Amino acid sequence: MATRRDFIERAGALAGAAALGMAVPAGAAGAKSAPRAAGGAVARPGGRQAMRILILGGTQFIGPFVVRRAMARGHEITLFNRGRTNIHLFPDIEKLVGDRNDDLSALEGRRWDAVIDNSGYTADQLRLSVNLLRDMTDQYLFTSTRAVYHDFSEPVMNEDAPLGPRDIPERDWVGYGPNKVLAERVVREAFGDRALIVRPPVVVGPGDPSDRFTYWVDRIDDGGEVMVWGDPADPVQFVDVRDLAEFFVNLIEHETRGVFNTNGPAAPLSTAELVYGIRAVTSNPVSFTWVDWDFLAERGLMPQNPLPFWQPPRGRYLNYGRMDSSRAIEAGLRFRPLAVTAKDTLDWHRSREQMGNYQMRILDRAREERVLAEWRAAMGDLL
């Protein structure tokens, strides 16, 4: 009997499948000498057909979209994971079972044209995989994160910005972002100019288990007075999971090398533009009230916990929502319209709600109403 989790994952898979079903191109592979792309990345023109691609992970959120995109392009896919999550997915492709922490034996004696690593977090994990695969593949794509940049205060925040905390010795680094910095280093040391590192921001769209973007489409669709944190001009960036998946496969096909930020959209987006853009795909009456960051902090409501998606543009987060992705855009990254992402995410979310009273893990309605009432009382006639 299917579980509720199975239903949710299947719903997320179906919601994005149509967007990934593109035809296989007829162009042949390009020449071995590759031109230079922006920022020193190497791009091979023409792309390749029928590549053998190993995906470490492949069954959660980003992974299934990458698999479908690669399959739609005619590539041969092998998945390696523990065989515990969404095992119903992709019954017709090869699946190798193991554990990247201590058992990679299923990978031994094989060769792939490229590896896409969506599941690595620590240097120790990456050391095991790259030491085994460095002579078994031509390319290694590592999915990193925007969180490798600890300080976002510089006027230009591109791939050359400093990584990791600057005031803490590396031996004391802990947490998601610092661990990814060390993991990136392992990849680069092992693969050299065959390494490919992608640093996405918040990844959104159908199937997103984090609720960071889904909160907004759900809340705005419900209508009424919606609390928005910060200022209407605060910048926000994200990437649709399907755009990221298409970019991954495009990079592999063109044997592109280097490091890429994948912050979208292509033009600057404010929180006002975000919420009004989402409102355009809903039908219920809705209004927005922006509440000051400091007022929220006094009530224990902090950025990311429990207020999702963006940071106040101040201090070390000054340009957190203004990062430069021109290198990735030049290499082929494209962004679908906000309305498409919002509508598809809302449709997927409603499908999982049909299984019962799904509860958002972000900000509950009662707490939102209390804070709005306190804000109105504090502001008085100014509102």
CA distance 345 to 61: 13
User: What CA–CA distances, in Å, run from 57 to 125, 301, 306, 342, 377?
Assistant: 13, 34, 28, 26, 50
Q: What is the pLDDT of residues 320-342, one digit of tens each?
A: 999 999 999 999 999 999 999 99
Mean pLDDT, range 300-325, rounded to an integer: 95
Question: pTM (2 decimals)?
Answer: 0.87
Q: What is the pLDDT of residues 61-79, one digit of tens each?
A: 999 999 999 999 999 999 9
Helix (H, G, I), strand (E, B) or coil at 40: helix
DSSP letter (8 states) at residue 280: T
Of the chain, the percentage scoring pLDDT greater than 90 comes to 81
Q: Which of 48-52, 152-156, 374-378 has the lowest mean pLDDT?
A: 48-52
Q: Classify strands 224-229 and 195-199 as parallel, antiparallel or unpaired.
A: unpaired
CA distance 310 to 250: 28
- Residue by residue, DSSP assigns 186-237 as HHHHHHGGGEEEEE--SEESTT-SS-TTHHHHHHHHH-EEEEEES-TT-B--
Question: In the chain, what are the domains?
Answer: 4-382 (3.40.50.720)
Q: CA 336, 208, 263, 291: dihedral to nearest 10 degrees?
A: 100
Q: Is the pLDDT of residue 214 over 70?
A: yes
Q: What is the pLDDT of residues 351-380, one digit of tens each?
A: 987 777 677 878 999 999 999 999 999 998
Is residue 39 within 8 A of residue 327, CB to CB? The reply is: yes
Q: pLDDT: is 41 or 206 the higher one?
A: 206
Q: pLDDT: is 49 or 25 the higher one?
A: 49
- Who's near 93: CB < 8 A, 6+ residues apart? 67, 71, 77, 78, 79
Q: What is the pLDDT of residues 175-197, one digit of tens each?
A: 999 999 999 999 999 999 999 99
Q: Is the pLDDT of residue 286 over 70?
A: yes
Alpha-helix residue ranges (DSSP H) falling in 266-325: 271-279, 293-298
Q: Is the pLDDT of residue 25 over 50?
A: no
Q: What is the pLDDT of residue 381?
A: 59
User: What CA–CA distances, in Å, run from 86 to 13, 83, 254, 287?
Assistant: 11, 8, 30, 39
Is residue 245 within 8 A of residue 312, CB to CB? The reply is: no
User: What CA–CA distances, in Å, run from 47 to 32, 34, 187, 193?
Assistant: 11, 11, 23, 18
Q: What is the pLDDT of residue 317?
A: 97
- Phi, psi dihedral angles at 59 (to 5 degrees): -120, 5
Amino acid present at 83:
G
Helix (H, G, I), strand (E, B) or coil at 133: helix
Q: What is the pLDDT of residue 16?
A: 40
Q: Is the pLDDT of residue 174 over 80?
A: yes
Q: Is the pLDDT of residue 294 over 70?
A: yes
Q: Is the pLDDT of residue 1 over 80?
A: no
Nearest to 342 by CA among 288, 278, 299, 268: 278
Q: What is the pLDDT of residues 235-251, one digit of tens each?
A: 999 999 999 999 999 99
Q: Is the pLDDT of residue 55 over 80?
A: yes
Alpha-helix residue ranges (DSSP H) falling in 229-337: 241-253, 271-279, 293-298, 326-330
Q: What is the pLDDT of residue 308?
A: 87
- Phi, psi dihedral angles at 348 (to 5 degrees): -65, -45
Q: pLDDT: is 213 or 14 the higher one?
A: 213
